[in-house]
Amino acid sequence: MLFNIPGRDPLTIETIILDLNGTLSVAGVIPEGVKERLQKLRSADYKIVFFTGNTRNDADELSRELGIEWRLAADATAKKNLAAEFNAETCVSIGNGLIDLELMKTVALRIVTLQAEGVHIQTLLNSDIVMPSINDALDLLIDPQRLIATLRT
């Protein structure tokens, strides 16, 4: 999707890259409303994927439940390298941990979520937008006017 944001170059987002633990799920549980938002985003032709070290060994189950693919990323470098497969300059990353930092530095748009597992300060400082929850972060992409209002100069 093309976003024309006043005061900035046009922003094209094709792929949404999600962190799993602490972002897409909190203590292994997908927050209410996430599945419906992901469906809306898929209907808008976004590619959606999550990168995870699979700490809780639940990535396969959550992938099936949400209907999105996942990729194993054991560390920050792996996450950054995986983004290249999705054309990083057309990706948004939504994450929270230090493991997301290098990925955040490579994508077009960087969003962090302030949920129960916290946000690493370096990842926060390298983000474009801070949102209180995964649902709020996904809503920025569902309603482009929210994103434009946040990023305009």
| Coil/strand/helix, residue 139 | helix
For all residues of the chain together, what is the average pLDDT? 96
- The pair of structure tokens assigned to 88 is 């990083």
Residue ranges and CATH numbers for the domains of the chain are 20-151 (3.40.50.1000)
Cα–Cα distance measured from residue 48 to residue 68, given in angstroms and rounded to the nearest whole number: 6
- What integer is the mean pLDDT of 94-116? 96
Cα–Cα distance measured from residue 39 to residue 35, given in angstroms and rounded to the nearest whole number: 6
Model pLDDT for residues 50-81, shown as the tens digit of each residue:
999 898 999 999 999 999 999 999 999 999 99
Instruction: Specify whether the backbone of 98 is left (phi greater than 0), alpha (psi in -120 to 50) or beta.
Output: alpha
CA 145: distance to chain centroid? 18
Model pLDDT for residues 78-92, shown as the tens digit of each residue:
999 999 999 999 999
Cα–Cα distance measured from residue 39 to residue 94, given in angstroms and rounded to the nearest whole number: 17
